[in-house]
Amino acid sequence: MRLVAVSAGLSTPSSTRLLADRLTGAAEDGLAGRGRAVSTEVIELRELAGEIAHHFVTGFPAPRLAAAVEAVTGADGLIVVTPVFTASYSGLFKSFFDVIAPDSLTGKPVLVAATGGTPRHSLVLEHALRPLFAYLRATVVPTAVYAATSDWGTAGDEYSDGLPARIHRAGGELAALMAGRPDRAEGEDEDEDEDEITALERGLADLRFD
């Protein structure tokens, strides 16, 4: 199976990339527990910023951008992580998904996540990210992950899950949806018909985790 993570972090090192890596590891563990082999790729949008801007002017993607779009649209599952700017996803993050054809993510399992300096921005997950991917007709996993600066290094308490627990749960949900997708021969195009979408929705309703 193919798992692609998209990170819109702008700095190096980046907490956005760190969260993408942690979520990727959790999804890989979930797939391994289900006996599914997976290849992973992380796309750093800051490396494609110039090509994304040129695409809007020329209408044609440069080679690296075209490869990134192909990886995203051909993946069996996506992890998307953005830093919060002005209480929403970053412009770079939105611009990249504006490049992708609107029907290319139909039925695809997507885990949404964000990073920010304060917990007050956590609602970006429900007010911005989840609606964006619902519009693109992706299947967004139930658990979205927000990591504020204060979340790193915490383990939670009896009243709330810490960041590691949220990462584990979200990765497991993504793995369950990916494992429920029909097997495809190498090089075969994704089948995006209504039967596949129904199967994913049924798998989402049947999720069970330890």
Which tens digits make up the pLDDT trace of 36-85?
999 999 999 999 999 999 999 988 889 999 999 999 999 999 999 999 99
Pairing type for strands 88-89 and 39-44 reads unpaired
The model's pTM: 0.84
User: Span 2-205: which CATH code?
Assistant: 3.40.50.360
98-103, long-range: CB < 8 A, 24+ apart = 98/56, 99/52, 99/55, 99/61, 99/65, 99/69, 100/69, 100/72, 100/73, 100/136, 101/73, 102/135, 102/136, 103/137, 103/192
Coil vs helix vs strand at 147: strand
Q: Cα torsion for 149, 153, 155, 161, to the nearest 10°?
A: 30
Tens of pLDDT along 99-158? 999 899 999 999 999 999 888 889 999 999 999 999 999 999 999 999 998 888 766 544
In the chain, what is the greatest distance between 2 CA atoms, to the nearest angstrom?
Answer: 54
N- to C-terminal Cα separation, the chain: 23
Domain ranges of the chain: 2-205
